[in-house]
Amino acid sequence: MATLDGEFGQRLQRALAMLDGKGLPRGTSAPLLYRWLWKLGWRMAPPPMAGFASTALVTGAFFGPVWGLMMWLMLWRRSQMPVGMALLAAVLAGVLFGLSMGLYGRWNARRRGIPLWRDFQG
């Protein structure tokens, strides 16, 4: 899964094993975006162990531009939507998606008794 070496990589593997034990599917405990960022060397907590703001920022910052670009290529450019309006829609979509994922992540973690990364001793 994660290719990070050293202390962070070991802690991440222990955390993912703990999340497996809590019954979380890998798509929730280690989504593709996070696995990709870990492979790039980013040292980030798995989403269920991250705080609200971290999850909201990472997911929203990824979703907004990707969704906006896809909408522009498939729909908006043919409808002659102004670029400013498309950018605003992409930013709003990213913010709403990020907030939703942050709220869901914290709710799910509390429901399952998952500690925050900073509290995880593993």
* Residue 5: predicted pLDDT: 77
Tens digits of residue pLDDT in 39-48: 999 999 999 9
* Residue 3: predicted pLDDT: 55
pLDDT reading at 119 higher than 70: yes
Q: Report the C-alpha gap between 40 and 85 in whole angstroms.
A: 33
How confident is residue 55, by pLDDT bands cut at 50, 70 and 90? very high
pLDDT reading at 38 higher than 60: yes
